[in-house]
Structure 1
Amino acid sequence: MFTSTTYSTIPTEKYAQLAKQADALMSGETNRYANLSNASALLNQFFDRINWVGFYLMDGDDELVLGPFQGLPACIRIPLGKGVCGTSALTKESMLVRDVNAFPGHIACDAASRSEVVIPLIQNEKVIGVLDVDSPELDRFSEQDVRGLEEFAAVLIKHI
């Protein structure tokens, strides 16, 4: 995992507000795709300087398939262990990639993406998908962003 040397422009308390907003938005709704769609829209509104945000969901035991997202059309299927998303799903670890071109085996769905953060979605100790956020800027994300997105993912898991 690569670590960022820059600092997030998003204060920790803003991430707490984001998590509360997501919880309220999805409260009472049981449709997984509706909640994932609203979650991607909420994150797209929350972040600046990104070009893609969305979800890849497990399809069987060895592949991720494209889920709700905001951005340009994307790769539809990603094998487990391939690229940043597949690696995060396989290892069950968040991935912070300062420069996607330096990540071995990076899958370039959008040539404009330069940095990326991926958070595995784990429910009952099983990966059900990943949250993926891309930026056209190098070193866009920080450890603070990872922690904030992990908090967001924990709230999301309750609703999908």
Structure 2
Amino acid sequence: MSKQDIYQTTESQILAVLEGEENVTAQMATVSCLLSLAFPETYFWTGFYVVDPAQERVLVVGPYQGTLGCLRIPFGRGVCGTAAETLETQVVEDVHALANHIACDSRSNSEIVVPVINTAGELIAVFDVDSEQHAAFDETDKEWLERILGKVFSGK
């Protein structure tokens, strides 16, 4: 199966499982689980960093699959913080080449982070995928992850 075929199948699975589910934590846990299972050779760490309502401009670890994640990430710091700050998907071929990279696990070599927007148009989280492979993520990953997250969290 091609990467696109895997994303298409996984999107269908995610939408079927989440049909009628309104709890955001359940949605995030399901998305993390099914995408992680779909790409076991590529996805090393898969999950969400949620906007912390108690602390301005800080992300806190949410539902994820993988090794221990960073607990808190300020907006503008690292790949996740940059995605939160700019509201733009970040695709990084080599995280070790970034001056402000936060190394939660030194085995991560590349990363994609997608801002998660709710139906009110507000940032609620970022979706983070790390890989042990260099340059593991491309435009296909970006397009499909933005599409899946848009459908689940903002209804688009």
What TM-score, normalized to structure 2? 0.90
Name the residue aligned to 2:109.
114
Instruction: For 2:23 and 2:117, locate their aligned partners in 1 and report how far apart those are by CA, in whole Å.
Output: 18
Deviation of residue 19 (structure 1)?
Answer: 1.7
1:16 equivalent in structure 2: 8
**CA–CA distance in 2 between the matches of 1:116 and 1:103?**
11
1:131 alignment partner in structure 2: 127
Matched length: 151
Work out whether residues 93 and 110 of structure 2, in 8 Å CA contact, stay in contact via their aligned partners in 1. Answer: yes
Identical columns (%): 40
Alignment of 1:36 onto 2:36: no
Q: Which structure would you say has the larger RCO, counting Cα contacts within 8 Å and 6 or more residues apart?
A: 1
Question: Distance between the aligned counterparts of 1:30 and 1:157, measured in 2?
Answer: 9
State the alpha-carbon separation in 2 of the partners of residues 92 and 125 from structure 1: 11
Shift of residue 104 of structure 1?
Answer: 2.5
Answer whether contact 2:108 2:131 (CA < 8 A) is retained.
yes
Distance 2:142 2:2 in 1: 11
What are structure 2's unaligned runs of at least 5 residues? none
Structure 1 gaps, min length 5: 1-8
CA RMSD of aligned residues (A): 1.5
Conserved? CA contact 2:121–2:154, under 8 Å: no
Contact kept? 1:18, 1:152, Cα under 8 Å: no
Structure 2 counterpart of 1:57, one-letter code: V
Post-superposition offset of 1:142: 0.8
Q: Does 1:69 align with 2:64?
A: yes
CA–CA distance in 2 between the matches of 1:146 and 1:129?
16
Match of 1:3 in 2: none
Letter in 2 for 1:33: T
Measured in 2, the distance between the counterparts of 1:67 and 1:11 equals: 26
Letter in 1 for 2:91: L
